[in-house]
Amino acid sequence: MSEEDEFKKSYDRQYGDIELLKRFWRYLKVYKKYLLFIIVGILATAVVTILPPAMVQSAFEALADRTKPFPQAIDFMPTSLFLWKFQINLWRAVYPYAIGYVLLSLFLWLAQVLLGIVVTIVSQRIIKRIQMETYESLQEHDLMYFDTQSTGQIMSRITNDSQELNDMINVVSQFVANFFILFAVLIWMFVVNWRLTFITLGMAPFVFIVAFFFRRITRLTTGKWRAAIGEVNASFQESVAGISVAKAFGREKKSKEEFEVINQATFYHAKKRAFAVMGIWPLMDGISTIGVFGITLYGSWLFFGGLASSDVILLFLLLLNRFLYPLVRVASQFSVIQSGFAAMERIFSIADAKKEITNPANPVSKELHGQITFEDVYHQYVQGELVLKDINLKIQPGESIAVVGHTGAGKTTIASLLMRFYDISKGSIKIDNVDIREYDLHNLRSQIGLVSQDVFLFSGTVLDNIRYGNPQASLSEVQKVIDIVSAQEFIDALPDGLETELGERGKGLSSGQRQMVSFARTLLTDPKILILDEATAAVDAYTEWKIQEALDKLLADRTSIVIAHRLTTIKNADRIIVLDQGKIVEEGDHESLMKDKGLYSELYETYFKHQSAEWISEISDVFTD
């Protein structure tokens, strides 16, 4: 589905061609010298391409009409032959053309080789630069951008679209050459024999009609084919991702049957497309045959009427395909250039996406003490949907704050805002009395540690992952954080311990284990401010309790914000903040909040109570029915 959309989109553009070309020129102009070489090379090649027929024609004429005087030197111009009027032997008459032919062929070959090399070098460098710039800009983008774009789309821009751009660069150079050849041949034919030129020219409309018609059905059938391929890929991907479920339910056979249906549909569309794609060249060949037929018949009629010599007929036969084929190519290459432009636009769209969160002009860099102040903070991700309202909060250095509330109350948003993943809509967040927007982003983020509920590990070893934020950490430092998060036991059980390779997203570890690694990774950066967003939700209660004990010491001189659903964690905090629909509704310690009988005691009833002993006996009735 998305493939088809993508395909349609490629013909629906926002930027003008000129604007795109201007931007593309920025990359091209770096290689001005190479470019000059390419242009000269293309033009020279175009000229040389049409010259061999002239050699053949001249040699033929010299041999056909042995009564005429022969030239002594090489003369490339077919219409102004025989300037020297003295008789020499036959061989001397034709060998210049033959040698000319050899030299021209060699020159052509050499030119193609050199052009091929230079175009490759230039295009590969440009592609690399565009990819790199796109990637760099991606790294600077707001997280909002990633929230709205699919991974597949972003990747396709950097890989597929830049490949399409590469194709376009190659095609453009041919396009220019073909265009040039087309005109050169046309003028030449007119000069030699205008009557026969009409036969050749008469083929052009057919060429255009066929090219136009086939391009349309090719585009149509290709769209459907690509969409079908998209479905095959999606189905394949999902089957592999859900392989354990398929195995557990013994659904392999059924999955195969379903896959066969989709695969068969792709084959059907591929066949339809093949009909269109493969039809065009034989038809062009047919048109060319009509041309040959016409030239020979009309040519010999002219010959017998004394209006054309046989070498002219030969020349026209030789020139026919040199005229028709560039015509077809120009017509078909046009669409490659079109989609190249579209690819260019898609790539540039990444760099063009607006960045809101950037380093300030005079960034503050300093060591944080950890005093955090939220002043009248409002935030919305989507216009009109306030996630946080009127948040006022002062956290002292070293203080530990627990944030509780229903799902969607805005707890995670507080963490994201403090990290400056998003900029707040109104108000200000200050750390040590400096607005976080005035800090150097690098300086700010590197001193705040976030352990988020959504764990992402990289492929690589467990050790690599723990050291991600602090690659220079010594093994004893690593050991320390491993002990704090109680990860030693499971790491020992891994096949290669710390050196065990993990798959993508930390495949190979359970969700609880991944959380422990992620926790250790953050602790290793020794952050001044620590945000734990459901950091141990998937870890069993006992391990969590052990982590909690170990953390208490560590957190003594650090500011920490803990978002949790486990009662013990919350009880340990210096202060509990209760959030409801984006607002702070209560604040205090466990005992006082319970006495207030407000939202906290309500939350306690729904969320925390069932972690206590009474609940265990209360719930027992469901098992004893």
Which of positions 127-186 make contact with other proteins (CB under 8 A)? Answer: 127-128, 131-132, 135-136, 138-140, 143, 146, 150-151, 154-155, 158-159
**CB of 260 or CB of 356, closer to other proteins:** 260
Q: At what angle do helices 162-192 and 90-140 cross, to 10 degrees?
A: 150
The answer to whether residues 559 and 371 touch, using CB atoms and an 8 Å cutoff, is yes
How far is 504 from 623, CA to CA, in rounded Å? Answer: 40
The answer to whether residues 403 and 411 touch, using CB atoms and an 8 Å cutoff, is yes
Considering only residues 326 to 345 of the shown chain, the ones binding other proteins according to CB under 8 A are: none
Instruction: Decide if residue 220 touches other proteins (CB under 8 A).
Output: no
Tell me the window of 39-47, 185-193, 225-233, 347-355 that interacts with other proteins (CB under 8 A): 225-233
Considering only residues 56 to 95 of the shown chain, the ones binding other proteins according to CB under 8 A are: 56, 59-60, 63-64, 90-91, 94-95
Instruction: Decide if residue 381 touches other proteins (CB under 8 A).
Output: no
Six-digit token string for 484: 């704090």
Shortest Å distance, C-beta 499 to other proteins: 11
Binds other proteins (CB under 8 A): choice among 23, 186, 226, 310? 310
The count of chain residues that interact with other proteins, using the rule CB under 8 A, is 173
SS3 content of the chain, % helix, strand, coil (to 5): 65, 10, 25
Instruction: Decide if residue 512 touches other proteins (CB under 8 A).
Output: yes
Helices (H), 193-309: 194-241, 243-248, 252-304
Q: DSSP label at 438?
A: G
Shortest Å distance, C-beta 229 to other proteins: 8
Instruction: Decide if residue 462 touches other proteins (CB under 8 A).
Output: no
Shortest Å distance, C-beta 201 to other proteins: 19
Shortest Å distance, C-beta 596 to other proteins: 20
**CB of 140 or CB of 435, closer to other proteins:** 140
Give the contacts of 294 (CB within 8 A, at least 6 positions apart): 199, 202
Convert residues 584-613 into a mask of x (bound to other proteins by CB under 8 A) and - (unbound). ---------------------xxx-xxxxx
Looking up tokens 């704050």 gives: 401
Binds other proteins (CB under 8 A): choice among 495, 553, 591, 597? 495
How far is 464 from 608, CA to CA, in rounded Å? Answer: 36
Considering only residues 431 to 460 of the shown chain, the ones binding other proteins according to CB under 8 A are: 441-442, 445-446, 448-450, 452, 454, 456, 458-459
Cα 517 to its chain centre, rounded Å, is 30
How far is 37 from 129, CA to CA, in rounded Å? Answer: 21
Euclidean distance between the first and final Cα of the chain, in Å? 50
User: 370 forms bridges with which residues in the sheet?
Assistant: none
Report residue 27: phi and psi, to 5°.
-80, -35
**CB of 13 or CB of 351, closer to other proteins:** 351
Dihedral over alpha carbons 228, 232, 234, 237 (to 10 degrees): -160
Considering only residues 12 to 51 of the shown chain, the ones binding other proteins according to CB under 8 A are: none
How far is 504 from 461, CA to CA, in rounded Å? Answer: 11
Six-digit token string for 618: 């209360």
Tell me the window of 14-22, 54-62, 212-220, 382-390 that interacts with other proteins (CB under 8 A): 54-62
Tell me the window of 22-30, 288-296, 374-382, 387-395 that interacts with other proteins (CB under 8 A): 288-296
User: 562 forms bridges with which residues in the sheet?
Assistant: 402, 532
**CB of 13 or CB of 255, closer to other proteins:** 255
Instruction: Decide if residue 400 touches other proteins (CB under 8 A).
Output: no
Shortest Å distance, C-beta 5 to other proteins: 12
Binds other proteins (CB under 8 A): choice among 18, 240, 361, 382? 240
How far is 348 from 25, CA to CA, in rounded Å? Answer: 13
Tell me the window of 23-31, 181-189, 192-200, 500-508 that interacts with other proteins (CB under 8 A): 500-508
How far is 155 from 96, CA to CA, in rounded Å? Answer: 57
Binds other proteins (CB under 8 A): choice among 73, 248, 361, 382? 248
User: 584 forms bridges with which residues in the sheet?
Assistant: 579
Shortest Å distance, C-beta 435 to other proteins: 19
Shortest Å distance, C-beta 208 to other proteins: 18
Binds other proteins (CB under 8 A): choice among 193, 413, 543, 559? 543
Shortest Å distance, C-beta 318 to other proteins: 8
Instruction: Decide if residue 494 touches other proteins (CB under 8 A).
Output: yes
The answer to whether residues 350 and 133 touch, using CB atoms and an 8 Å cutoff, is no
